[in-house]
Structure 1
Amino acid sequence: MRIMVLNCDSFKINYKKMGAGLLCALLLCGCGTEKQIEDKLTDTKSTTFFAMDTVMDIQITGDEELLSEAEQKVVALEKQLSVTEKDSEVSCINRDKIGRLTGDGAKIFAGGMDICAATDGALDLTIYPVLKEWGFTTGEYKVPNDDEINQLLEAVDYNKVEISNLGNDYIDIVLPDDMEIDLGSITKGYTSQMLHDFFKENGVESALINLGGNVQCLGGKLTGEPWKIAIKSPFPDSKDGIIGVLQAEDLAIVTSGGYERYFEEDGKVYWHILDPTTGKPADKGLASVTIVGKDGLRCDGLSTALFVKGLDEAVEYWKNNDDFDMIIVMSNGDVHITEGIAENFALASEYANANLTVETR
């Protein structure tokens, strides 16, 4: 898992780095009677299940039946879109080079293509054949030679996907020969957003949706505190496994890093985040990128795209877009955080001496 959630106060945070507004929010947990708080806490329901190749944890306040409905929604979406599901809409399109995405699938594809265009292809939904060649989708890892990669790259270009009926409840798609699409880089982000909206529409005031590291908060804790989201350290020698903690309410928090899925060959590490221009693992000196915003799908896509872009281009992209913030951990241990969330973030004690830079517009 890329992101952990702390529901206790045992983790040491340097509150001097947090603003007065946040401190007030933390102090408000004493408001109301103990009986009112206790009644709310007993109304908390949770579930854990496996889907989309990860363990998912969801907790809400409200009707427990909503959790069953949520699980059904996730399973149905996986069946519809999984690139490894033989009869999924995505697999049929990849096989026949023509087909239709419907409902949520159409929305996910359209949102993903928007991110592809906005990031100049740093995210590319047509990278799937290259990922397969590296073995990241099969587990049969290998380092392809340059000729193999270059041949596969000829079919990697989201601009070559033919789209019609965009804006309806479905999208018709035609792919060139040898091209395949994969929505895995954005599906969990969309799913967390979908569940957030579903719970909210059904009267849930507080929820924590953790889809294998894609975290989405609905409100804050019932005690009045914000959620404490622990961002996983990307470094294998970390003692506690946490780079820092972010206080969050009504936000999506998504992290991508080379440590998530990788293999080693001849002493070199190869990770699954590929640069679509080279067909090789993106290597711009970043260890992880965490995107924080209101839209789960956008956060998911940008966490990959900005990892590919590297620090300077990622910061420049953030300066030109005001709908997200980010935490970037460099391979050398330096940390960069954007000003919008700087007061809500604290480094873990293990990394207290890391160089922390606050990026400003």
Structure 2
Amino acid sequence: MKKVICILFCLMLFSGCGYSNVASESFESMDTFMKIDIYGSADTAAEIRAEIENLDSLLSAQDDSSEIGRLNKIGSAEFSEDTADLLSQALELCKDTDGALDISVYPLVEAWGFIDKNYRIPGESEIDDLLKNTDYRKITLSGGRAYLGSGMKLDLGAVAKGYAADKAVELMKQNNVRAGILNLGGTVAAVGEKPNGEKWRVGICDPENTAAYFGSVSVSGKVVATSGSYERYFEQDGKRYCHIIDPKTGCPTDNGTVSVTVISDSGTKSDALSTALFVMGIDGAKEYWRSHTDFEFILLDEENTLWLTEGAEAAFRMNKDYEYNMKVIKA
């Protein structure tokens, strides 16, 4: 499932002593708009774009000719090194989050109409039948070949853009590119610092007005990813149904969470945890964070309470037009 996320980010001061010219690429991939701005050569920017577009061709669940598409169609497929690597990481994250992230929910996402946009509310019996085949533990990877349990399909959309960010950062390092900002459809990698030595500021989307942002985080060497109930949804009989499916119920997550932003060194982890913590809700998110020390998060709930971990609070600045009730989560 592709996540369409709005994170606005500041691109400021693209000049300065010791920095090469800015090379940029703007394009559509992974079902979203992407923009790359790096202090490096045009060739490196083009190489990053080509890498992301190649990953898209391998990972798209909607493309029967992709490696994931072939797996979903016949139940087993030989994977390239990148696809196998990402699947391995994704399964580990599914396990670590106790299934709050489950890459096998794709048939449920289809059933609710979030893929073809023919939105509907499936019956209980249909959901129950699909839940029988929703279990990441029935996905196996052996010797570069993946296997699915009967009736299963998977989608790596919850981790694909984060993985693409990680691969892009690797390419920057290989080409001695010291800084840049990569907006991969809302998963934002902030590499190095601006020429004046300041960190990058990455804005977080206002759920009520996706052309604006309620605040920003100041980061360097981090990947920032957000998942929100406002990204893709439909309404029926006065109730909103969001695209983030709870793997335990088979229904859109409905726990009072509006958006979750995760900040970490790893794009794959930031991407995955923004979905997983959304499914967990604030109590589960706090518990999970306290047992892990390698990421920070910001969670906005439907009561306009903004929950921030200690590290996130230090990096966060709220815009003056917003009056969310901020609560800091202590370790």
- TM-score range, shorter-chain basis? over 0.9
Deviation of 1:68 (Å)? 1.2
Whole-angstrom distance in 2 between the partners of 1:228 and 1:202 = 24
Alignment of 1:213-228 (within 5 A): 213-228=186-201
Q: Is the 8 A contact 1:326 1:337 kept in 2?
A: yes
State how far apart, in whole Å, the 2-side matches of 1:100 and 1:234 are: 40
Matched, 1:2 2:6: yes
Q: Give the deviation of 1:358 after TM superposition.
A: 1.0
Q: Do the aligned partners of 1:196 and 1:217 also contact (CA within 8 Å) in 2?
A: no
Q: Aligned to 1:116, what secondary structure does the other structure show?
A: helix
Given the two structures, how large is their TM-score scaled by the length of structure 2? Answer: 0.95
Q: Give the TM-score normalised by the residue count of structure 1.
A: 0.87
Partner of 1:360: 330
Across the aligned residues of Structure 1 and Structure 2, the Cα RMSD in angstroms comes to 1.7
Please give the secondary structure, in 2, of the residue aligned with 1:138.
Answer: coil
- The CA deviation string for residues 182-208 of structure 1, in whole angstroms up to 9 with x for no partner, is 111100000011101111221101110
Tell me the SS of whatever aligns to 1:199. Answer: helix
Do the aligned partners of 1:200 and 1:218 also contact (CA within 8 Å) in 2? Answer: no
**Equivalent residue pairs, number:** 327
Summarize the alignment of residues 217-256 of structure 1 with structure 2, pairs less than 5 Å apart.
217-236=190-209, 241-256=212-227
Contact 2:306 2:327 survives alignment (8 Å): yes
Higher helix share: 1
Structure-2 residue corresponding to 1:82:
60
* Structure 1 SS opposite 2:104: coil
SS in 2 for 1:143: coil
How many angstroms apart in 2 are the aligned matches of 1:184 and 1:287?
Answer: 19
Deviation (angstroms), 1:8: 4.8
User: What is aligned with 1:205?
Assistant: 178
C-alpha distance after superposition, 1:151-188 (max 9, x if no partner) = 111100011123323xxxx2x22212210111111000
1:180 aligns with 2:150: no
Q: Contact conserved, 2:166 with 2:268, CA < 8 A, in 1?
A: yes
Deviations 1:277-298 (A, max 9, x none): 1111111111000000000001
1:94 has 2:64 as partner? no
Deviation at 1:105, TM superposition (A): 0.6
Query: Would you say the 8 A contact 1:4–1:230 is kept in 2?
Result: yes
AA partner of residue 5 (structure 1): F
Alignment of 1:6-155 (within 5 A): 6-8=10-12, 37=16, 40=19, 43-155=21-133
| Larger displacement relative to structure 2 (262-271 or 320-329) | 262-271
1:39 offset after TM fit, Å?
A: 7.0
SS, match of residue 297 in structure 1? helix
- Which structure 2 residue ranges, 5 or more long, are not aligned? none
* Contact 1:81/1:90 (8 A) holds in 2: yes
The correspondence for 2:267, drawn from 290, 296, 308, is 296
Q: Given the alignment of the two structures, is residue 162 of structure 1 paired with residue 140 of structure 2, yes or no? A: yes
1:275 has 2:275 as partner:
no
Structure with larger Rg: 1
Q: Helix, strand or coil: the match of 1:274?
A: coil
Q: What's the counterpart of residue 318 of structure 1?
A: 289
**Whole-Å Cα distance in 1 between the matches of residues 135 and 284 of structure 2?**
21
- Deviation digits for residues 87-122 of structure 1 (CA, Å, limit 9, x no counterpart): 111111111111122211111101110110001100
Alpha-carbon distance in structure 2 between the residues aligned to 1:101 and 1:152: 26
How far did residue 214 of structure 1 move?
0.3
- Give the Cα separation in 2 of the matches to 1:246 and 1:175: 39
Instruction: Give the conservation status (yes or no) of the 8 Å contact 2:17–2:195.
Output: no
Amino acid at match of 1:140: N
Checking the alignment, whether the CA contact within 8 Å between 1:226 and 1:249 is kept in structure 2 is yes
Note if contact 2:180-2:190 (Cα within 8 Å) is conserved in structure 1. yes
Find the counterpart in structure 2 of residue 25 from structure 1. none
* Separation in structure 2 between the aligned mates of residue 263 and residue 38 of structure 1, nearest angstrom: 50
Tell me, in whole angstroms, the C-alpha distance in 2 between the residues paired with 1:343 and 1:153.
41
Q: Percent of aligned positions with the same letter in both sequences?
A: 35
Q: Distance in 2 between matches of 1:104 and 1:80?
A: 9
Is the contact between residue 290 and residue 328 of structure 1 (CA under 8 Å) also seen in structure 2?
yes
Q: Distance in 2 between matches of 1:59 and 1:37?
A: 15
Structure 1 runs of 4+ aligned residues shifted over 3 Å read none
The secondary structure found in structure 2 opposite 1:156 is: coil
CA distance in 1, matches of 2:183, 2:248: 32
The letter of the residue matching 2:250 is: G
Given that residues 3 and 230 in structure 1 are in contact (C-alpha distance below 8 angstroms), is that contact kept between their aligned partners in structure 2?
Answer: yes
Q: CA deviation at 1:7?
A: 2.9
Mark the runs of 5 or more structure 1 residues left unpaired by the alignment: 10-28, 30-35
Task: Give distance in 2, aligned partners of 1:232 and 1:2.
Answer: 6
Q: Which amino acid aligns with 1:348?
A: N
